[in-house]
Amino acid sequence: MESSEELERASLSKEPFPPTHSTLNEPKERASLDDNRLANREVGSSLADQEIAGEATFALAEDSRVDIGDGLDNRITVKSEGHIATITGVVDSAAERMAAEELVEAIPGVELIENAITVGVDAYLDDDDLSRMVREKLDSSGLAWVGSKVAHGVARLVGTAEKLSDEERAIKVAASVRGIRDVVSNLKVKMPEYTDAIDLLSLVTQNLAINDVVILDREISIADGIVRISGKVPSLKDRRRVRRIIADIAGVKGIRDKLEVDHALFRDWQARTHLSTGR
């Protein structure tokens, strides 16, 4: 069995991405090209932002988990500036707020989300009513092992989960109750006796590979069941997918996600890959 110092130092796979090299030698020529690239990027960014807002609004309108309104006076609106999407509006539950963010996150080109949606409070429901509704929802969803209490519209969950994905499921179920403004999880994740940092590292890398996940400049380290992962992914949707894959591994108690979205880097990487493979 490894010592605690060895476990904490378990630092894992690094996949360096080769840097690009400029073929320009003249400073004036380079400066001129940089100015043109900047101008083109600003124009392209503006067009992309309009497309992001439009596609996000359409995605929200088409999904049954979200009530965007009648189209004339939308309950939820999306604006994008510099690939940063801001979502505003009022919804009936924390789950609807979470679903809206997940849908906008999946739109190509979105690099960051600011979720300013608020959850409306139902004046006819007090904390006792909400506590009962959350309890019924958890029980009917096969989550009777989760303890819950509601105070000021915020549901707090306690108990021990088999996997981190079970905790995330419990949060979503509690959040789906109308009138719940937020969910705070105090759930603990069970740590299998056989699992140490090296075991988890192997499981994480294997599961990412099995699911064909590509992370450039990837670095993973594990200590005390906490997975720390960094690198670059092509979209926020891919970032969420990475988290889901890791969360479903027994023994993972938490995820410290420092993944960055970099569309341009991936386009360059894909072009190089196609050239090298002849595809």
Residue 35 belongs to domain spanning:
27-119
Q: Are 135 and 193 in contact (CB under 8 A)?
A: no
- Residue 154, H or E segment: strand 154-161
Domain total for the chain? 3
CA distance 10 to 220: 9
Q: Which residue has the higher pLDDT, 111 or 129?
A: 129
Q: Where residue 58 sits, what CATH number does that domain have? A: 3.30.1340.30
Q: 255 and 174, same structural domain?
A: no
Residue 234 has pLDDT above 60, yes or no: yes
Q: 202 and 173, same structural domain?
A: no
3-class secondary-structure state, position 2: coil
Residue 268 has pLDDT above 90, yes or no: no
Q: 69 and 56, same structural domain?
A: yes
Q: 32 and 11, same structural domain?
A: no
Q: Which amino acid is at 33?
A: L
Radius of gyration (Cα) for the chain, nearest Å?
Answer: 22
Q: 210 and 198, same structural domain?
A: yes
Q: 222 and 161, same structural domain?
A: no
pLDDT tens digits along 174-211 = 999 988 989 999 999 887 776 678 888 999 999 999 99
Predicted confidence at residue 262, as pLDDT, reads 79
pLDDT tens digits along 88-102 = 998 888 999 999 999
Pairing of strands 182-189, 84-91: unpaired
Predicted confidence at residue 210, as pLDDT, reads 93
**Residue ending a domain, choose from 93, 119, 145:** 119
Percent with pLDDT over 70 in the chain? 75
Q: 132 and 210, same structural domain?
A: no
Q: 235 and 224, same structural domain?
A: yes
Task: Tell me which residue of 257, 244, 247 sits closest to 162, measured CA to CA.
Answer: 247
pLDDT tens digits along 30-61 = 344 344 444 444 444 555 888 999 999 999 98
**Residue ending a domain, choose from 119, 146, 170:** 119
Q: 50 and 103, same structural domain?
A: yes
- Categorize the per-residue pLDDT at 111 as very low, low, confident or very high, splitting at 50, 70 and 90: confident
Q: 198 and 183, same structural domain?
A: no
**Residue ending a domain, choose from 66, 84, 119:** 119
